[in-house]
Amino acid sequence: MAQLATIASLSGTGLAVYGQVRQGQQQKATNNAQAENLRQQQVAQQEQATAQAAANDRDRQDKLARTIASARARAAASGVSPDEGSAAALTTGLRADAAKDAAADVATMSARLAAGRRSLLAADGSFNSYLRAGQTLGGAVRNLLA
């Protein structure tokens, strides 16, 4: 009769270990699906941010071109050569300011994309199920030996 109890205990432990391992496999599959969804969302966010940055850059270039054309026209209308002296310094300054704004926008976009990324150190929980299964098996063996 004692042998029957031992066999029943071992089979129960085996089923418990199998259940925990199976649960771990299902959890891993779920985590992989969630990671794939997250990756797809990040790709979509990156595409959206890239498109927005390109639109902002085009708008900034158009505004810069209009501003420079206006400044050159005013300088030419007042009799000053638009390619020399203070008029040239003005257009150079406008271009430098536009380049700084563009760099700031690129830095902002990079920070936004980086903030949306998930850490590579995020636990997926796949190891925990195997650890629990080992603890269950160890407890069963300890009970049998006691």
Taking the C-alpha atoms of residue 81 and residue 87, their distance in angstroms, rounded to an integer, is 7
By C-alpha distance, which of 75, 125, 71 is closest to 95? 71
Compute CA distances 15 → 97, 127, 128, 136, whole Å: 70, 19, 18, 11
**Per-residue pLDDT of the chain in tens (146 residues, 90 and over written 9):** 667 777 777 788 888 888 888 888 898 889 889 889 888 888 887 788 788 888 888 998 899 889 888 888 888 888 888 788 887 888 888 888 888 888 888 888 777 777 765 444 445 555 565 566 667 767 766 666 66
**Predicted TM-score (pTM) of this structure:** 0.50
Taking the C-alpha atoms of residue 104 and residue 98, their distance in angstroms, rounded to an integer, is 10
Residues whose CB falls within 8 Å of the CB of residue 81, separated by 6 or more in sequence, listed in order: 75, 87
DSSP state of 82: T
Taking the C-alpha atoms of residue 134 and residue 100, their distance in angstroms, rounded to an integer, is 59
